[in-house]
Structure 1
Amino acid sequence: MRQQTHKRGRFTNKTVAIVAALALGGGGAAIIAANASASGDKNSGQDRTLSATAGTISCPDVGQKLNSVPRQARAEVDRNLAELDSQVANAYQRMAKKEAGTDSVLTTLQQQRTATLDRIGIAIGRSAQRPAGLEQMSACKMQTNFAGKGRGGGQGGNQQGNQQGGNQQGGNNQGGNNQGGGQQGGNQQGGGQQGGNNQGGNGGQQGNGPSPEDFVDITKVQPNVKEPQNQGGASTGSFVSECGVNAEGIRNTDNVIVAPGVGNGAHHTHDYVGNKTTNANSTNDSLAAGETTCSNGDQSTYYWPVVRVQDGTQEKDANQLGGGLEGNVGRILTPKSSTIEFKGSPVGKVTAMPRFLRIITGDAKAFTNGTANANAHWSCTGFEDRQLTDKYPICPQGSDVVRSFAFQSCWDGKNIDSANHRDHVAFAQEDGSCANGFQAIPQLVNKITYEVPAGETYAVDGFPEQLHKPITDHDDFINVMSDQLMNQAVQCINSGQKCG
């Protein structure tokens, strides 16, 4: 990478400035303490790396535990689950404004959650047995995170992140980051001095992430991608929907899958391509009537968190919920390219997706939830044989940042959604086959690239308590293809053609 020594100097200066600002009470709700430590460097005289201790509010993810909710109760339950997220976001705002100490904030939060969980229990109990143990999920804690260790940091966090999350696709069986993201990403060479330069050195999104240890020089990462081998009868074709890069700027902070009917249900901003009408109040009927950015008439909705660079620019949402008021700051990058491709199964034919099937891949709360549902993949153009899950890549000159999502490709054959929005679909097993009770459907693979300005910090939008960690990246999809278009896609895939 060019001018590494100079960039290390810029990183150090920005780091010291941010630490000083935090010590004086400047904007970082999630940062508890930070310090810079010096170590000798025979090449540069003296080099500094940031050693930060950050804390985040960690609450049990109630939605992931509710895998059996009567259909007639789901709307009320979803509204209350969204209220739990709002309560955490409000707790962060109280901390940022120094309205109360940590203990007081957590006590109030627990009281709020207790009441909301009771409402969830009552809603379910009207038509089914009330879930046991709801009250035990009311308490939250302040989780301390040491830079370079644990989740999203060192060797252990990366091994777990890929073994549980990444290899479900069959893409990173040996852990996408065991060699690159953890061992090299967490150390000084990858995550601090060379990899970090001034990435993260400006305190990130109002001081609540990302941290320098969240970045790694992609050239220091070893190739780690392993694809399952096609077997006889594999469906080797593909179908592409050309839907653009959201040049129109269709964005909102809703999430119609997880929080239908709730404004700002995501607490962060999404980019949308495909269906132009998607928001919290969308219904199957409104989506079916919506216009689309896709050239082939695909009315499906594809949405993902925006990527921002912290270059000092204030977006129009700087003083709005879901934006700057919840720690999502900086200039939103329009993708350089976006590819939406549906692929086949390495072991057999695929069957058509039902219209209005909903799939979420990845976990927006993986930093506090753990990595069981994490499915983030970060890389750089020209280096896509190496994938990261809990590190942002620093790309060499001329190379673009790549986000890729390979969605669950097995469906239960019955449901277009499930109570926790996961149980109705699954990843293929290690050999590419679907588990008993599931059948192969076209696998959505979404690849998005960004031209990140040299030396700028960047991160995905996220819930405030997730500290903008790369492992929280996620992608959402609602299939609104007409039956005719879906059947065309299946025919292309099963016959080995490349269409679109």
Structure 2
Amino acid sequence: MRINHLLVIVPAMAFTTIVTGNHSASAARGPAFGAMTVGAHEHGDRDGGHRGKADGRKGRDRDDDDHGKDDDDLGPKRNDFVDIRGVRPDFRRPRLRDGGSGGTFISRCGRNENEHYNSDNFIAAPGVRNGAQHLHDYVGNESTDGDSDDESLKRADTTCENGDKSTYYWPVLRLRGQRDDTPQARQSEKDGNVGRPLTPASVTLRFSGNPRDDVREMPRFLRMITGDAKAKSGDGEKARAQWTCTGFGDRRTEKYPLCPPGSRVARVLDFPSCWDGENTDSADHRSHVVFPKRDGKCDDDFKPIPHLEYLLTYDIPRNRLFALDGFPSEKHSPITDHGDFVNVMPDGLMRRATDCINNGQNCS
């Protein structure tokens, strides 16, 4: 276990990327909305870290892709995008009060370089293959699939440092107009998810404190979800989508952001942090751990635990259409962004992380 005090400083109003990658292969030109040129995407013609075969095959244009579907039918729509410079800069974190816990702990687990993905979700649909009907990126626990349970997770290897066997996962972001070379490509196409999955340029898994109180340790095998994968077709009350661009962390939107040159597309997946003190799961996978009030205070009978955020960034080539994987009914709406987590940290690591947070230190 390595604890580096004051190693990582994460300002409230900006993104700090922890694991970065430089992906510079040229991208073939593909479909794009004309309006996307207004907020031109970052890094010129870089390919955004597309997943590819080990032999370095480039992505192909839609004309050479026999898995393509018409984007107008699939979504997203033009009004699902917004120039980040037109978004109001009004994001604020709750003020840290006396007695609050102001530290952070970063779990370093990579960017899914080993291409661990599937369309399962063992939290919401245990034992069901393709239960999610969209592809997930996974970091951390290397065994996670639809058949996972506490015992299988405990036995597995991990991509994380310090023996963190937790599973962290989220739907992939795809670049339209390029071939999906994953083993799940045909099933993805049947579910309306087309294009090349993008490897994030950076992944930050950040645990922070509570602005009003110390946090207690998460129980092992605690399950948490955030967001609503069916927010577009449903009432959207559980939606938690937060999109932005690097350098614009105080501007958050439920739409896909169009970023200026030099800025990456970014997703923030913000998890609940008030635990009922007893259960590691519940029938709806939400009632046992809920979000705090606006000022950070937990409701009565709920206890503050470390606040987990996924910060994901992507290099999107200039003027290229990108979209989130989702259920067929959701038309790739950005409001459906969501994430899942199961805590499989060793008890000692969770204890040290919690101590770090409560002592106001920044550790990894």
TM-score range, shorter chain: 0.7 to 0.9
For 1:371 and 1:256, the matched residues in 2 are separated by 23
* 3-state SS in 2 of match to 1:320: helix
- 2:162 is aligned with 1:296: yes
Which residues in structure 2 correspond to 1:197-212 (within 5 Å)? 205=71, 207-212=73-78
For 1:456 and 1:483, the matched residues in 2 are separated by 44
Which residues in structure 2 correspond to 1:404-415 (within 5 Å)? 404-415=268-279
2:341 matched residue in structure 1: 477
For 2:146 and 2:184, the matched residues in 1 are separated by 21
Counterpart of 1:445 (choices 309, 312, 332) is: 309
Counterpart of 1:426 (choices 260, 272, 290) is: 290
1:187 matched residue in structure 2: none
Counterpart of 1:342 (choices 203, 207, 216) is: 207
Asked if structure 1 preserves the Cα contact closer than 8 Å seen for 2:222 and 2:342, the reply is yes
> Who wins on radius of gyration, i.e. which is larger?
1
For 1:14 and 1:395, the matched residues in 2 are separated by 15
One-letter amino acid matched to 1:274: G
* Cα distance, 1:205–1:486 mapped onto 2, change above 3 Å: farther
Structure 2: gaps spanning 5 or more residues? 1-28, 42-67
TM-fit CA distance, 1:352: 0.6
2:122 matched residue in structure 1: 256
Asked if structure 2 preserves the Cα contact closer than 8 Å seen for 1:215 and 1:392, the reply is yes
Asked if structure 2 preserves the Cα contact closer than 8 Å seen for 1:205 and 1:327, the reply is no
* 3-state SS in 2 of match to 1:491: helix
TM-fit CA distance, 1:195: 5.3
- 2:331 is aligned with 1:467: yes
Asked if structure 1 preserves the Cα contact closer than 8 Å seen for 2:221 and 2:342, the reply is yes
Higher relative contact order by CA 8 Å / sep ≥ 6: 1 or 2? 2
* 3-state SS in 2 of match to 1:296: helix
* 3-state SS in 1 of match to 2:214: coil
2:38 matched residue in structure 1: 194
For 2:121 and 2:81, the matched residues in 1 are separated by 28
1:364 matched residue in structure 2: 229
> C-alpha deviations, 1:29-52, integer Å up to 9, x for none?
xxxxxxxxxxxxxxxxxxxx8xxx
> C-alpha deviations, 1:346-376, integer Å up to 9, x for none?
0010001110000000000000112211111
Asked if structure 2 preserves the Cα contact closer than 8 Å seen for 1:233 and 1:349, the reply is yes
* Cα distance, 1:351–1:313 mapped onto 2, change above 3 Å: same
TM-fit CA distance, 1:497: 1.0
TM-fit CA distance, 1:314: 3.4
TM-fit CA distance, 1:311: 2.5
For 1:448 and 1:291, the matched residues in 2 are separated by 23
One-letter amino acid matched to 2:38: Q
Asked if structure 2 preserves the Cα contact closer than 8 Å seen for 1:192 and 1:213, the reply is no
Report the TM-score, using the length of structure 1 for normalisation: 0.59
1:163 matched residue in structure 2: none
For 2:40 and 2:143, the matched residues in 1 are separated by 39
TM-fit CA distance, 1:315: 2.8
> C-alpha deviations, 1:101-145, integer Å up to 9, x for none?
xxxxxxxxxxxxxxxxxxxxxxxxxxxxxxxxxxxxxxxxxxxxx
Structure 1: gaps spanning 5 or more residues? 1-9, 16-48, 50-190
Asked if structure 1 preserves the Cα contact closer than 8 Å seen for 2:32 and 2:321, the reply is no
* Cα distance, 1:343–1:204 mapped onto 2, change above 3 Å: farther
1:67 matched residue in structure 2: none
TM-fit CA distance, 1:14: 6.7
2:101 matched residue in structure 1: 235
> C-alpha deviations, 1:216-239, integer Å up to 9, x for none?
111122202021111111101111
- 2:142 is aligned with 1:276: yes
- 2:357 is aligned with 1:493: yes
Asked if structure 2 preserves the Cα contact closer than 8 Å seen for 1:300 and 1:478, the reply is yes
* Cα distance, 1:206–1:193 mapped onto 2, change above 3 Å: closer
2:26 matched residue in structure 1: none
CA RMSD of aligned residues (A): 2.1
TM-fit CA distance, 1:194: 3.3
For 2:178 and 2:198, the matched residues in 1 are separated by 13
Asked if structure 1 preserves the Cα contact closer than 8 Å seen for 2:39 and 2:260, the reply is no
2:45 matched residue in structure 1: none
> What stretches of structure 1 move > 6 A for 4+ residues in a row?
none
Number of residues of Structure 1 aligned to a counterpart in Structure 2: 310
Asked if structure 2 preserves the Cα contact closer than 8 Å seen for 1:204 and 1:211, the reply is no
Which residues in structure 2 correspond to 1:105-254 (within 5 Å)? 194=38, 205=71, 207-254=73-120
- 2:230 is aligned with 1:386: no
Asked if structure 1 preserves the Cα contact closer than 8 Å seen for 2:91 and 2:250, the reply is yes
TM-fit CA distance, 1:204: 6.7
> C-alpha deviations, 1:251-294, integer Å up to 9, x for none?
01100100011111100000000000001111101101110000
